[in-house]
């Protein structure tokens, strides 16, 4: 007797590389490499397929962070929610809902045949992870495995022991190129029962025509090699400050009144965060040379709520623009950080004369933490990096900003302090545009302890 099947071809037609990944007979499959290859689409489809193939199957699908899963992989899974037609084992079409139940609070889907797909964040969803810890599963699927710790992956594998007739266990994953254990395990070692299938944007006919050329324009060469050509070695030097994934995950991250919506946090707790965390801060980067721009970034709590940029102007005009924004958004001047070098120093003085006591920040000046940072620019950027890592930042979908952030490089100074490659060096050595938007963002998230107007003379 043949198995019932369901026609999902309206929703998903795998391209050849995706087909290769679907057909892999190995238990552990990494479909990975460059961006935009169709990895998340593959992962969602394979999860659905495994649930259909083995009625009563139980799968766990996740990313490192549940919040990121919700705004990426979960959306791909949800596409299958309206599918209805199924062909029964006698070849007749029946109207059956593929996914009759989506439990949004409990984070699972139940399928028509009794299979259940649980989902969560393996790194941040403690409740969900504890639940899965006690389960026996038929498959696991991890999107962006390079974000996940190896112990968590191993532990997921140990859950694969659900007893079902004829079941083939599957552990599938996607990843972007990054140095680390994923590369070691799937790309470098030829482990039994493991397969690595490279994914490149040019494999994916469904991307917009200018997808690849746009990215090539925006990103520095090492990033291009990794993200577009799937070169797992190019970032081995590790000299970029921000991980591409973390920048991407921060775009329009869900926030409420300036606060991140954290999965599993009840509203009463959210209320308390709300009160403490909706302060407005502004960061202003001032143009140095002709083709630079002045950039104003305003955030409320963790979320950037407004940005504006204007070309290099004279002192009075920029002072006027800034003053107007401080008033319009009703920002406390002590929460305004201005790049107070060159033209910025003049603006700083003009604002002081008008009794607007903002913070003048000298990028090359002394940091609060002298032990770890060469200067305040390094401190500022490293604070920003921690926010991207922790997922406590939401930025607008701005290609310029994303490209600038991903081009920020760091060096380790001889005394093991962190140093950020200067704007001048970025322009001269790497022929990149001055990262004015990124600097302005870093300034807006910097919270100098000393609100002393003299800080600029340090």
Ligand X SMILES: Nc1ncnc2c1ncn2[C@@H]1O[C@H](COP(=O)(O)OP(=O)(O)OP(=O)(O)O)[C@@H](O)[C@H]1O
> Are residues 138 and 57 in contact, defined by beta-carbon separation less than 8 angstroms?
yes
Query: CB 94 → ligand X: shortest distance, Å?
Result: 26
- Token pair for 268: 């009463």
Of the residues 81, 167, 207, 323, which one makes contact with ligand X according to CB under 6 A? 207
Q: Is 330 exposed, middle or buried (0-12, 13-18, 19+ CB in 10 A)?
A: exposed
Interface stretch with ligand X, choices 145-153, 179-187, 201-209, 399-407 (CB under 6 A): 201-209
Closest CA to 378 of 389, 361, 363: 363
Note whether 40 binds Mg ion by CB under 5 A: yes
The C-alpha atoms of residue 325 and residue 331 are separated, in whole angstroms, by 8
Interface stretch with Mg ion, choices 38-46, 98-106, 195-203, 299-307 (CB under 5 A): 38-46
Nearer to ligand X by Cβ, of 44 and 393: the residue is 44
Query: CB 43 → Mg ion: shortest distance, Å?
Result: 8
DSSP annotation string for 275-335: HHH--EEEEEE---STT-EEEEEEEETTEEEEEEEEE---HHHHHHHHHHHHHHTT--GGG
Of the residues 6, 35, 172, 250, which one makes contact with ligand X according to CB under 6 A? 35
Nearer to ligand X by Cβ, of 31 and 281: the residue is 31
Nearer to Mg ion by Cβ, of 39 and 243: the residue is 39
> Are residues 87 and 5 in contact, defined by beta-carbon separation less than 8 angstroms?
yes
Nearer to Mg ion by Cβ, of 175 and 380: the residue is 175
Of the residues 28, 40, 113, 434, which one makes contact with ligand X according to CB under 6 A? 40
Of the residues 38, 123, 177, 344, which one makes contact with ligand X according to CB under 6 A? 38
Note whether 328 binds ligand X by CB under 6 A: no
- Name beta bridge partners: 410: 420
Residue for token pair 């040379």: 289
DSSP symbol at 186: I
The C-alpha atoms of residue 347 and residue 130 are separated, in whole angstroms, by 54
Note whether 138 binds ligand X by CB under 6 A: no
> Are residues 4 and 89 in contact, defined by beta-carbon separation less than 8 angstroms?
yes
Site for Mg ion, residues 43 to 72, rule: CB under 5 A = none
Note whether 129 binds ligand X by CB under 6 A: no
Chain residues that interact with Mg ion, rule: CB under 5 A: 39-40
Chain residues that interact with ligand X, rule: CB under 6 A: 12-15, 18, 35-41, 176, 199, 204, 206-207
């Amino acid at each position: 007797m043949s198995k019932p099947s369901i026609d999902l071809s309206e929703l998903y037609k795998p391209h050849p590389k995706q087909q290769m990944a679907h057909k892999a007979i190995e238990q552990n499959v990494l479909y990975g490499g460059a961006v935009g290859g169709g990895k998340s689409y593959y992962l969602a489809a394979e999860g659905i397929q495994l649930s259909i193939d083995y009625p009563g199957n139980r799968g766990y699908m996740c990313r490192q962070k549940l919040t990121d899963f919700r705004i990426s992989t979960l959306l791909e899974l949800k596409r299958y929610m309206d599918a209805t037609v199924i062909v029964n084992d006698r070849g007749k079409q029946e109207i059956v809902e593929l996914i009759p139940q989506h439990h949004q609070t409990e984070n699972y889907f139940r399928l028509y045949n009794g299979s259940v797909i649980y989902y969560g964040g393996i790194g941040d969803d403690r409740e969900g992870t504890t639940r899965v810890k006690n389960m026996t599963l038929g498959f696991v699927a991890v999107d962006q495995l390079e974000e996940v710790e190896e112990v968590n992956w191993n532990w997921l594998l140990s859950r694969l022991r659900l007893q079902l007739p004829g079941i083939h266990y599957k552990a599938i994953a996607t990843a972007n190129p990054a140095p680390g254990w994923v590369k070691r395990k799937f790309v470098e070692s030829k482990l039994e029962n493991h397969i690595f299938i490279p994914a490149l944007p040019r494999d994916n006919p469904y991307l917009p025509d200018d997808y690849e050329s746009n990215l090539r324009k925006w990103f520095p060469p090492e990033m291009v090699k990794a993200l577009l050509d799937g070169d797992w070695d190019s970032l081995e030097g590790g000299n970029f400050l921000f991980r591409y994934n973390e920048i991407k995950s921060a775009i329009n991250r869900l926030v409420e009144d300036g606060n991140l919506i954290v999965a599993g946090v009840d509203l009463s707790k959210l209320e308390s965060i709300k009160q403490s965390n909706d302060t407005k801060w502004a960061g202003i980067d001032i143009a140095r040379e002709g083709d630079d721009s002045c950039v104003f970034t305003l955030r409320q709590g963790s979320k950037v709520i407004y940005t504006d940029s204007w070309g290099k102007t004279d002192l009075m005009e920029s002072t006027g623009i800034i003053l107007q924004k401080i008033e319009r958004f009703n920002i406390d001047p002590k929460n305004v950080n201005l790049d107070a070098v060159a033209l910025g120093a003049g603006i700083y003085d003009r604002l002081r004369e008008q009794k607007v006591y903002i913070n003048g920040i000298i990028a090359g000046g002394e940091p609060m933490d002298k032990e770890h940072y060469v200067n305040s620019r390094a401190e500022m950027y490293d604070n920003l990096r921690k926010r991207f890592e922790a997922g406590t930042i939401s930025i607008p979908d701005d290609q310029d900003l994303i490209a600038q952030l991903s081009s920020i490089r760091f060096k380790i100074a001889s005394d093991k302090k962190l140093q950020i490659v200067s704007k001048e060096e970025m322009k001269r050595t790497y022929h990149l545009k001055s990262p004015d938007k990124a600097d302005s963002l870093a300034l807006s998230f910097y919270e100098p302890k000393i609100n002393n107007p003299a800080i600029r003379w340090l």
